[in-house]
Every structure is written in structure tokens, then in C-alpha cells.
Structure 1
Amino acid sequence: MASNDNAAAPTTTTESVTQEQRVGYDKKCIFCRIVNREVDTELLHSDEEISCFRDIRPGAPHHYLVVPTKHVGNCKSLRKEHIPLVEKLVETGKEILQKNNVTDFSDVRFGFHWPPFHSVVHLHLHVLAPASQMGFMSRLIFRPDSYWFITADHLLQRLNSME
């Protein structure tokens, strides 16, 4: 069996690697397809580690999704070793807000939908600002530390408490 697996592996340059064979890519995941520019979505930030784009159903005047460029499952699947990744997602969200002239971080909501209350399994941080301008439904959907939404700070506390 091992020889069959090796036979399927590409033996030429990395350009010949198909999307399906790339580590950290799920061809069924819309966010993987967005960060790989297979979907016509403006990327506000994109590097080897993190990508950011606007939410298609904004819950606030500024509503961005910050995602790992490589496919990572939902926030329930994270472990202590993912703390730097979560911190980098938040840091990138703050940078995007600053580029869009949002400087009052006391009126910003950073968080994740808690499974099973998410529509895309690819880890994604919601960045919403100003939180004070969110409508009734958005305040409900993105209610901090509810059964369905966890703030980035709370998630980091959970991850830090893991052994």
C-alpha cells in the first residue's frame, strides 16, 4: 500500500501540486477557496499564515473575517499550541480596523461562533466594529460568551488552561 501512496505523490516542482494535494487545503471549504483566490472576493490581507476579507452578511459597519490561510478546523478543535495562531488572528483584525480608521477598540467585538453554531468549519475570527452600531439580530448572533459565540479573549483563556 505504501508504494501506491508514493506513486500518487507528485515528483516534479511544487507548481505541479494540485489544490487537492496541498497540505492545509480543503477543496470543499469556501474559505480555503477564497484565500486561494478561486472565488472572486477581495482579500484585505493575505500572507502565508493569515487572510482577511469582508463578511458577506455584515453585522456591523465594519465586519471582517480573519482566517488561517491553511485550513484549520473550528475553535472547539484548537489546543494550547494554537494560542499564537489565535493571537495572530486578533492582531491582524486590529491592523485591518486601524487601516479602516477604527481606533476605539473598546467598541469592537472579536470572537468565534461556537460549534455547532457556525456555517463554515474553517476557523474564522469575526471582527465587528463599532459594536454599539450592531442591530438587534447581530447583537443576538454575536452575543459575547453565549452558547453560540465566544470572544477571542475567552477562547484564549480556555486554551491557556489546557494541559
Structure 2
Amino acid sequence: MSHDPNCIFCKIVQGQIPAKKVYEDDDVIGFHDIHPWAPVHFLLIPKQHIASMADLQPEHAPLLGKMSVLVPRLMKELGVTNGFRTVVNTGSDGGQEVFHLHMHAIGGPRPWLKG
């Protein structure tokens, strides 16, 4: 599995940096965002280093499908029952700050209205 030794998320995957995990299996890891926008805000990332959505290939489709199916399950387990937001920032102009593909899962009463 590929990784980037300078990537903060790869370091989380390898256990070099601690994270408050909400999920982990052979392919993905989920952990709470360190600057949450809502009562529940976690990131779901592939363990394989993929820089962004723009770098996805057809063989990554099962991985993205898995991530998309996991988010609602994890939100429910974390007590979010009245909706949530899923965001994937892609590239600098798309607001991506860490160049390791990650899906934000943000739950709670309209957290994106935060001022």
C-alpha cells in the first residue's frame, strides 16, 4: 500500500500521530476532525495515499463506494439521526488543505451555518 512519508494523514494511518478513531479496517480509517464544525465531525480516509479526488482511477471505485456506505452507518452510531453533510474538497481551489483524499462527515443541526 502506497504512502507518503511527509503526509500527516499517512502518519495517522501508520500510528505515528495519534487520532481519536471512529472506525478502522484494512482499507480505511475514520477519526474526529481536530477543528470540528459541528457536534459530530470526522474524516474518513483511505489507508492508501491518494492525493485527491482528481487522482482517482477506475480501480478506486470500490474504495469510494465503501467510504460512501460507511459514512451513514458511522453517523448513526455516533448519534446523528436528523441528517448530515459529506464534503470532499479537491485541489487548492477546492479548499483542500491536506493532500490525502479525505471525506468530511459533518453532523448536527445545520453546522454549515456556523458564523
Q: Report the TM-score when normalising by structure 1.
A: 0.63
Which whole-Å deviations, capped at 9, do the CAs of 1:41-98 have from their partners, x for residues lacking one? Answer: 1222111101000111111111110000121120111133322211211222222211
Matches within 5 A, 1:29-68: 29-68=7-46
In structure 2, which of residues 88, 97, 108 is the aligned counterpart of residue 112 of structure 1?
88
State how many pairs are aligned: 113
Where structure 1 has 5 or more consecutive residues not aligned to the other structure, the ranges are 1-22, 138-163
Q: Which runs of 4+ in 1 moved over 4 A?
A: none
Where structure 2 has 5 or more consecutive residues not aligned to the other structure, the ranges are none
Question: Are residues 1:83 and 2:61 paired?
Answer: yes
> Radius of gyration: which is bigger?
1
Q: Distance in 1 between matches of 2:77 and 2:54?
A: 30
Specify which structure has the higher proportion of helix. Answer: 1
SS of the residue 1:113 aligns to: coil
Residues 37 and 114, structure 2, Cα contact 8 Å, conserved in 1:
no
Query: Kindly, what percent of the aligned residue pairs are identical?
Result: 28
